Structure 1
């Protein structure tokens, strides 16, 4: 019975008032751990003993998500498109997600239904990716092959209790769509944790950890029998006949057994109807020709992936209880002896075997059964082939801000309370903004720094005295500035490695006369770093202003600057994965500066020498002497130009209007340096190559960008990862600041590039159609699960692939 309706409001930070009226939604009762969603519809759809709950009521007001209804007459059931389930679709122009509250740990089925009807928009033109909270499911997916019958993509995922998200990410200027979603638990131990691993050469060992991997169903075959529709399977699976995959039909006979299999008599496996329906075990193929020793099934598979292959047996062939010994072959090399009475002492007792089969790079997998002698009668009942997907590690949930939910009994009451929260939110936020820090004139000197006189004692007002370190402690830490401890020299002055009395290792930066930096930079560094803490921002331990000194003491970064690892160094070259992780870390640090609790700060001097690496190569942004506060209620900050030549935002240079996007431009230059391992400005090169940004974009337009990639990276970079990285870099370097992404967008894009690097990319054409079917899906007798909660919320996080807001469809 449906619970009384109530209203739910979500207040995302930084955007609560702007989107206030868009988040009102109706919630429904909880549905345990079974979730079936009829996407884009205002009515439920009953099909194959499932009740797909409409999501339209809770998300119709979201601008980046809208529904389409197929206005043509209902299609016949023989076409495979249910008259209700595939008549509507939810369409996303921006990155969006469904969120499920999963109560129990275990392996879950996740099925995604796609049917590309063309009224009023041609859904077959969609191009998008689908991810979950922990792995990628579909990359560069298109619905063009689903115009005649649905594509149903099925996955097995390990899910822990809590929030589970399915993300839809449109590619470039395209869109994403979905017709229906299923999320429900598989039976316990449905996926084994280990299985025998088979190589193309015939060797084998044990493969462990299957239960923690994401699997995608590629084939589910009923050998010797007809199509089994979801309505005839307790887990709503579709099994297709083997005829299209069988190589030598004249040498085998199909057999049907009218009596049901004896599930309970299997000796080693807990085989039930949820393992495979009775119709799988009641049909089989067996070798019927004297002298024919093998029969083979061939499948197109991904060239670069491992597959879990489940082989189903049930002896409905033998006429007596004589032992049946025969062989199972993969790639005609590895063979497994099959003795049906090792698993049961009776006929019609089902069992199955699991194998992890490595690719032989051909894109084909052959599975055969064969005789050991003329008396043997080899048989096979069913096959399942599941691709083992790489775990992406995309921890979207760890980046989410903490949200505040307000649940009230009516719309008016909810809006009234929200109004109070919004007012308090902005009052508190305004009080926490930093005061603007005025800086002096910029001069085009090397490094782009202005020159100031040294300070005199007592001229720094309102400093954080808790961070003040006596000069004697500095002398002790650096052994009175011993030359052997000098580890660098920057625009501010010399940097020494030191050890404080409490054992803390530190980097001690001492200003020198004529260094190009002075009191304002020193003051700004302390004011900024005393107010912020972030994993990807260097931490200030303290400062010293005694004896006319300007000394800053930071946490020690064992691996120096990013520049040290890119060029002109004897350090080993960084791998592409390391470079991506460093860029992601730096981008997160800058994103925190721009949007974090300190009220908004623009760095103004983003470059590889200001990105430091700790002993684990974790990136931390440093050197905040030129930073400027960025009031959130201002769209521009008027200021005299400061920065470093080669990294300066051209729009900022021309207009003197500073925004957060100036840091984005500088970071785009850093990304090019990471890719190409050369400085932003190299005056000794030919004229067209002097400026890295201009040279890189020229090469890109000529299709030669890969020619200027760091030679040490050749052969390391996944082409899709490189393509995403270059696309992100080009966005950062747009001439107009409004066309550039936010730093939040940048680090999402870079994380995506990292996942593309770590995720096997090849997709075979058959993968778009093997799971979909064309048989009837509707059933007259409907077993209805309870409905689920559905609500819409918009996250304050930036989009992963575009500049739009982030949308979620949330199930409760």
Structure 2
């Protein structure tokens, strides 16, 4: 059979409390006979996880991972992750490697959540030989233009958005002509070094060229606009006199140790048909195996080699900058969809989305979030839409993508954002919504140049959001808990009508008398999280009520839910606001722009409602139905204004047919 490439990540933590001191464990790890770790021991002085990462080529029908304790010792592992990686990710000349260093040059730490393959990238500050010889660039905020699909997986996009740039100015009387990064590596092993370059530094294309060195020896000319082979190097960059502009830069750096030691005793037999697939072998002793997390399903579908077809492949519109990684690359084209067509009536062809967004033109970018970027678009029939596109090919947000489609296909309400369609073509995850002209509620409260909202308009928005949430809890598909209510997820149309958005974290019912909660892992946004849910992991409709109470205070105070720059007792808005309300000092927290607009009696009652929502135990909180009725009919309009009482903001007469 042909070989496949996989990324294996092993997590070891010695600080967990077991019957043995885990830092005393000494053991070897083998994968299909290949020695991955020899005489491995987790340092006893660290409380942080020790992660060992390997890229392996597997050419058998099964993969067996063996743990072999040395002598009378033992072996353990805390977690295991396995991902399929694309062809060409590691050159054939170095099919099996162990990651030694992965560096985001010129930038901060890149966490697992920001990398397509869940890799972390460390800052380069501890490795640069002469810090004054180069400086960190400003962050590049635009979309990176990759030369091919493979390059999207070679490094996190955040790596390509920062760089170390050669300082050509005299520093302490010396002009630096090169910059060097120094790493401690195994002298008995060969190493693969991959350097990443993205040219957002030069004033224009084809004007900056520079040299790449190892051990002070010239290695190759770096042309950011072409491709170069990989080299086993220790990296330096240096200025080139022939370059139009005297600049040099580096975005990222990886050093991987090439693995070549084998032991036939740990080679699985093809004749053994037991447990074909991923097998964890417990060999020569006991092993503490706490958990196995295998996340290859999406990537297996994603990188299954397609049949050769003649079809046009969309490429992004030209950007000013381009990204490249200097290793041997093999181009691959993948087609198809890794998302099942579970709501066929909502599918929008990718070509239509390209048309609507002008090939995801950066000028149409209106927002960024954890799932991806949001673009303003116009369909061929003139309908204005918001297009939310996941980071291409990341696989992150897959469950949220499915949940959003499932929830929004079941609901229809004036105060809930409508889903127009979705696209799962060519491994994209794209959601298309009705366009909300005025943006988010947060945009109109603080940290924005938009006009401020008068008090009555803020109340209208709160009432509308409450009605939308009440419909979710009582009238939609047996009950839906939103789980991420916050001011950025309440959007406003051209008439400032509030609509609740972003249902990726939602939980579906049934939520009746016999099912009062859902047991689930903690998800949401700090500052808005229900403390009871946080402590018990029991999610209820009242969890949304708590979050809505925080929004009520945001509307009144025009400040974030969490502000670490404020004194400790004021940093958390829910705690600070509740304390002021209980002490009869609610006037002290009112937005200065609202002074004189609020009837004192209405302000007091508004504070009481917010306080009820923020009760620590959910039994003390009102339901969303009680809340919106209270706000509208009894508490808020002591001045006789009845404009909002008789409006029927019920759900649509008929849900859309799917």
TM (normalized to structure 2)?
0.46
Q: TM-score, normalised to structure 1's length?
A: 0.37
Query: Which structure carries more strand by proportion?
Result: 1
Greater relative contact order (Cα 8 A, min sep 6): structure 1 or 2? Answer: 1
